[in-house]
């Protein structure tokens, strides 16, 4: 789970979306095999309508959100927790 500060900055709707996306997202991070490099390689990007994580290619794990905060929270979660 993401840290309390990040969690508390999300609206209740964003918290629900984060919780819905998290299992698929975390599995994709683990499956990527890039745990040590992941946080530096993928950045929050936007196509104008949706935010997503990308290394310059398509959205990571095909996950997009209208909320950049949800995507940033997923990114923080992966950086904080996936190499532990």
Mean pLDDT of 41-69: 95
Of 56, 48, 63, nearest to 18 (Cα)? 63
The model's pTM: 0.90
Cβ distance 4 to 76 under 8 Å?
Answer: no
Residue spans per domain, the chain: 4-81
Which tens digit of pLDDT belongs to each residue from 29-42? 888 887 677 777 89
pLDDT of residue 63: 97
Residues near 65 by Cβ (< 8 Å), separated by ≥ 6?
17, 21, 50, 51, 52, 71
């Amino acid at each position: 789970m993401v840290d309390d500060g990040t969690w508390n900055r999300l609206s209740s709707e964003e918290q629900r979306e984060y919780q819905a996306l998290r299992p698929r997202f975390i599995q994709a991070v683990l499956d990527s095999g890039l745990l040590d490099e992941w946080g530096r390689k993928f950045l929050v990007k936007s196509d104008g309508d949706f935010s997503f994580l990308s290394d310059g290619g398509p959205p990571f794990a095909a996950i997009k959100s209208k909320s950049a905060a949800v995507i940033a929270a997923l990114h923080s979660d992966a950086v904080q927790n996936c190499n532990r």
